[in-house]
Structure formats: structure tokens, C-alpha cells
Structure 1
Amino acid sequence: MIWIIGLFIFSVFLSAFFSGTETGFYRVTRIRLVLDALDGRFMAKFLLFLTNHPALFVATTLIGNNLANYLVSLSIVLAAGALFPGNSTVELLLPTLLAPLLFVYGESLPKSLFFHAPNTLLLRGSPLFFLCAILFAPFAAVLWVLGQALQWLLGESPTQVRLQLARKELVDVLEEGGEAGLLNAAQRRLAQGLFAVANQSVGALAAPITKNQVAILGAEKKTALVYAKKNKISAMPVAKQGADKGDLIGYVRTCDLILAPEDAIQSYRMLPVVAGSDTQIAALLRMQSSGESMAVVKARDGKTLGIVTLDQLMRPILYSES
């Protein structure tokens, strides 16, 4: 009977460990792991490896939780058979009576502890998880292959998971920095805005030329100024008279039109070209370094995707609510 009790306690411990580790893994600060790994801590390097290969962590945790649940059920059935042999009613009632105990100590409590102290508890429990990862490696490999096949069929990538985890970590770090007084509200919003658009392509933001008012070289500037004032725009693309609307030669700023002594549009600024696959941050830096407030966005095949302005690139960064 003693070994049955020992099996029950061990299985509850395994359930608590894998349940808590799962929560701690998604709460741990990756920056902390990187710093510990640079200090030469092997377990920090192991956890950092898992964050870059989440499929291995998920497979190990899944096998561990299922093993713990099986051992809990086995120990309860063995205990019922030893205490009340041949009584099927007890075998049904005993798991029901023990369910609240298993839920509190095998699921709820460890998850709460790892939620509030993920870095400390995850590092302390990493040697056991490392041992389990080695023992479960043959079975985890099968799950990993199935996961890769599913990702191939559905077109999903683990990179998306890593990016979501990384962004959540950065947001948490910024919030903690704000609470500690290291960042004020404006600085935190600016940093969050940068993270929000860091991986978004400029091609998705570009407005098609058909939706832009194109100024004609040599035309009266009065019409262009009326349109700019009505729509509150600071610049518009320029094309030659009689040319196709998509054949742009540059752009003109509203302030330059106002200050120019001529009644017609005679001069224009060069229109820089950015690739549609470039990130919004890269396009913003390029436009700021060149001093231009408008750029044309083109695909790899040279096809024009649209026009993007400096205001369009700055707005999601300065006014981000994420």
C-alpha cells in the first residue's frame, strides 16, 4: 500500500510540474534567459533553445502531462482495489472525491506559482525538464514530425509563435519599465508603436496611385492647392502632361507650391523608390535620411504598388494603442 501512495504523490508532483512549467514557459522573460546564457549557465541556454524550438517543448510537456494523468488514474484504481477489493462503486467514487485535490495541487496552484515567479521556478525546475526531454525524446520526435506535417499542410510556421511570444515579452518589459519609472507614458507608447509595425511591410500600407491626386507638370497650381487644403495633405505626386497617371516623375510639397512665385507647377522633388517587401521601419529610416516626405512603392518585378508618405509611416508609431 505504501508504494501505491508513493506512486500517487509522484504522479501528482509530475502533473503539477508540467502544468506549472507550461505556464512559466510562456511567462519567462527571454531577455533574462539571454543574459543568464551569456553568463555561461547551461540550463539558461537549454531554456533559450526551447524558446527557439517551441515544438520540442510542447511535445515534451504533452507527453509528461499524459504520463502524469495515467499514473494518477493507475494509483487511484490500485488503491481502490487494495482497500476495497471487488467493489466497483468505490472505484467510481474515489476518483470523484479526489478530483478537487488533483485540480488544486496538480493544476491550479502550480500554474499560479509559475505565473507569479516564472524566471526563478523555471530555472530551478529546468534540470528535471532537461532529464524528461531526454527520456521522452523518441516519442517527442514522432510528435515533432506530425507537427511539421501539420504545419506544412496548413501553411503555419513556428516563427509566428516565436514572434508573438517575443512581442508579448517586449510589451511586458515596457510595462514593467513604466511601473518602475524608467519610461514615461510617451516613451512607452513610442516603443510599443515601433514593435507593432516592426514586421509589417510597406507594401501593405501603400495607397494605390488611382486613389491619389496626381499633379500635372505645367498645370495651374491653384487647383492642386485647393485639393491639398480640402483633403489636408502635405504632398502629392507629379506626372508629365499627357503621360499616364502611373508614370510619375516626382512629387511636390504643398508648402513649396504656396511659396513658389509661378502660377503653374514648374518644379518638383525626386520621388524615392522603396521595395514593397521592405518593413515600414526601413522605409521610414530611408525617407528620413534622404529628407523626402513621399516615396513610390514597387514590387520586385518593377510594378508600382502605390504611394506612401512620411505621415502614413509615422502615424501607427506615434498613435499606437498596443
Structure 2
Amino acid sequence: MNWLPLIGAVALFAIGLRLSALFSGSETGFYRVSFLRLNIDANHGDQVAKRLCWFAQNPSYFVATTLIGNNLANDLTTIAISIGVAELFQQSGGSAEIITTILFTPIIFIFGELVPKNLYYRAPSMLLKRYCFWFDLFYRAFWIISVPLVSITRLLERFSPDRNKPAQLVLGRQRLAKVLEEGHLEGLLGNSQKQLVRGMFSTAAQSVLKVMIPLKKITGVTRTTEAAEIIELAKQNQLSFIPIRARGNQSEWTAYIKLVDLITSPSPIIPAVYNMPQLQTDFSMLESLYLLRNSSSAYGAVYQNGTQIGIVSQLDLVNALCSSEGPLMLNPRAL
């Protein structure tokens, strides 16, 4: 018996099995990997992550490479089994090859499909990065064959009804929530950040009226109130910013002063008075918070049809956004 062809058959079978594991596992890992994590790694200079991101942006080439690679792996294992059977059972005819193929099928399935897919499913990022060099090498080797396949795919996409739809340049709520949830699972967002995002989703679109302080409940002073009285009032109500009634219209609150300015200013000097930006009742909490932050204002005056009905505190808006316990993902029926 010539052992050289038999050794070659075993080596060819091992290569085919390994290639099957590479391409089958990579296919599972590609659909399991966090592209958010890959993008972050790529932005930090990780060349392997950049290459994987390229495949993510060109999935047709990735799919074509895996399909060609799996077919090549199956052909190699089949050829190896045929060579091995021909050397061991020279007089048996075709029955030995059929039986041997049936016996080797569970081995190929377990070690070429099942185990690699499970491994890539559990650790997609690590394994894709580890074997990216080999996958990229086979992509370049199969490029001549994969280009026609990709061209046919893109030709068929022209007849797809989704092609005429405008590109989604802005993430929808559900998609954005999914990305943020994925970021939390990947350790990119802490619990406090996730709570803030949850609050923004559940309360940001609600009206500013929900946290508005009506005129009758405002704790404030007039422009003639003594400094000692203002400081005492601030201590009793734990206020860092004290609303002031408007000049000529005691029913409106259009300005405020800072307690720190009042305490640190010498007696003859009047502390600075800050005007409140005007907010409308149809403003959302997030919109109102943006206006207050943009103008560096602690309070905003809420108006309805030209008449003031209350004020809103920037601190109350922040607390409302941070204290919500609503879900990130909405029920589709609620959309």
C-alpha cells in the first residue's frame, strides 16, 4: 500500500474541515458581532476592526466569500474521502465510498459546522478579529469569482421595491433605542447614562406643563425686598436661584437672581438680575431644557397666548429626564 496518497487524503480532509469551520463560524459571527463596538475600535486605530467594518459596509462580498469558501471546503473533504477510500478499498467499488461518506458526515457536521458556529456565537468579536487575516486572504483569492456574484446581486437589487425608498439618514426611535441598549450590554453606557437615555425617551416629548410651577405657587421676591430677607427665604426653601416679580406687573415673574451673587456682593452693590427666556406651552421638556441650557438660564417663563401662566426650572427638567423608569424600547402597538 502506498501511504503517501493516504497521508495526503488525511491532510486534505483536515484542511477542508478547517476551512468549513472558518467560513461557517465567520458567517454566524458576522451576524452576531456588535458593529457598534467595531466602529469604536476602528476609530481608535484598530486595523482589524476597520477591515471588519469594511465587510459590514459591503456585506455582498462577505457573503460571496463565505459561500465560495464553504463550497471549496465541502469539495476538499469529498475529494479527500474519495482518495482515502480508493487507497484503502481498491476492490470494493462505489459502496465503500458511500458508506465512508455517511460515516464521516457527523464528523464534518460537528467539527465543521456545529462547534464553530457555537464558538463564534458566544465570542463573535474575538474570533472574527483573530481569523480576519485568513478570511481577508481568501476574500482576495476568491475576488475574481465573487465579483460576478456580487454584480448579479446588485443587478437584482435594482428590481427590489425597497430600492426606491429614501435612505434612512436619521435613526428612528426603535432603532436608536436598540443601538443604545446594545451599547449598554457592551459596557459602553453606564447605568446612570442608560437611565438618562430612558428618561429622554419616555418624558422628553411630554409638555413642559408637566413640571411647570404655576404663578400661585412660585416662591420669590420683589425688586425692593431686602437682601437679608432674600437670603433667609432662599435658606428656608433651599433655593439657589430666586425668582423676581416683573417691574410694573406684579403678576408676572420674568427674572431671577443668584443666591451666590447676593451673598458675595458688597452691600451697596445690587447683584445682577437675569431675565428668563420665554417658553410656550406647546414646548416639550427636551426643547425647553435645550433653550434654558443654551441661554445659561436657571428658569424659563411659560406663556400661553401671550399671558404668563408659570415658570419652569432647569433643575426640575433635568430631574424629570433622569428619574424616569420607562422602557427604552416601545411596544410596537404603542407606535
Indicate the TM-score class for this superposition, using the shorter chain for normalisation. 0.5 to 0.7
SS of 1:153's partner is coil
* 8 Å Cα contact 1:37-1:45 kept in structure 2: yes
Which amino acid in 2 is paired with 1:14? L
Alignment partner, residue 100 of structure 1? 106
Alpha-carbon separation, structure 2, partners of 1:47 and 1:191: 34
* CA offsets 1:37-76 (integer angstroms, 9 cap, x no match): 2333322211111111111111111111111111111111
2:15 pairs with 1:10 = yes
Alignment partner, residue 27 of structure 2? 22
* 8 Å Cα contact 1:33-1:45 kept in structure 2: yes
Alignment partner, residue 135 of structure 1? 141
2:43 pairs with 1:38 = yes
Pairing partner for 1:84 from 77, 85, 89: 89
Alignment partner, residue 181 of structure 2? 171
* CA offsets 1:266-318 (integer angstroms, 9 cap, x no match): xxx8999xxxxxxxxxx9966986899xxxxxxxxxxxxxxxxxxxxx9xx95
Give matches, 1:215-226, under 5 Å: none
| Structure 1 unaligned regions, length at least 5 | 195-233, 235-254, 256-268, 273-282, 293-313
2:128 pairs with 1:122 = yes
* CA offsets 1:180-234 (integer angstroms, 9 cap, x no match): x93279728828959xxxxxxxxxxxxxxxxxxxxxxxxxxxxxxxxxxxxxxx9
The range that moved more, 8-17 or 39-48, is 39-48
Alignment partner, residue 146 of structure 1? 152
* 8 Å Cα contact 2:21-2:112 kept in structure 1: yes
Pairing partner for 2:116 from 86, 110, 113: 110
Which amino acid in 2 is paired with 1:174? H
Which amino acid in 1 is paired with 2:10? I
Which amino acid in 2 is paired with 1:36? D
* 8 Å Cα contact 1:30-1:169 kept in structure 2: no
Alpha-carbon separation, structure 2, partners of 1:186 and 1:36: 21
* CA offsets 1:251-276 (integer angstroms, 9 cap, x no match): xxxx9xxxxxxxxxxxxx8999xxxx
Which amino acid in 1 is paired with 2:79? L
1:25: Cα distance to partner? 1.3
Alpha-carbon separation, structure 1, partners of 2:290 and 2:196: 24
Alignment partner, residue 47 of structure 1? 52
Larger radius of gyration: 2
CA 1:83 to 1:284, structure 2 compared with 1: closer, same or farther past 3 Å? farther
1:167: Cα distance to partner? 7.4
Alpha-carbon separation, structure 2, partners of 1:118 and 1:88: 41
CA 1:151 to 1:84, structure 2 compared with 1: closer, same or farther past 3 Å? same
Give the number of equivalent residue pairs. 219
Which amino acid in 1 is paired with 2:150? W
Give matches, 1:223-234, under 5 Å: none
TM-score by length of 2: 0.54
Alpha-carbon separation, structure 2, partners of 1:93 and 1:73: 13
2:191 pairs with 1:183 = yes
Alpha-carbon separation, structure 2, partners of 1:284 and 1:154: 41
1:126: Cα distance to partner? 0.4
1:33: Cα distance to partner? 1.9
SS of 2:158's partner is helix
SS of 1:40's partner is coil
SS of 2:131's partner is helix
SS of 2:191's partner is coil
Alpha-carbon separation, structure 2, partners of 1:55 and 1:165: 23
Alpha-carbon separation, structure 2, partners of 1:41 and 1:13: 26
Which amino acid in 1 is paired with 2:22? F
CA 1:14 to 1:114, structure 2 compared with 1: closer, same or farther past 3 Å? same
* 8 Å Cα contact 1:4-1:75 kept in structure 2: yes
RMSD: 4.2
Which amino acid in 1 is paired with 2:184? L
Alpha-carbon separation, structure 2, partners of 1:174 and 1:99: 41
Alpha-carbon separation, structure 2, partners of 1:165 and 1:140: 31
| Structure 2 unaligned regions, length at least 5 | 1-5, 208-213, 215-279, 292-299, 303-320, 331-335
Percent identity of the aligned residues? 34
SS of 1:20's partner is helix
1:120: Cα distance to partner? 1.3
Which amino acid in 2 is paired with 1:82? E
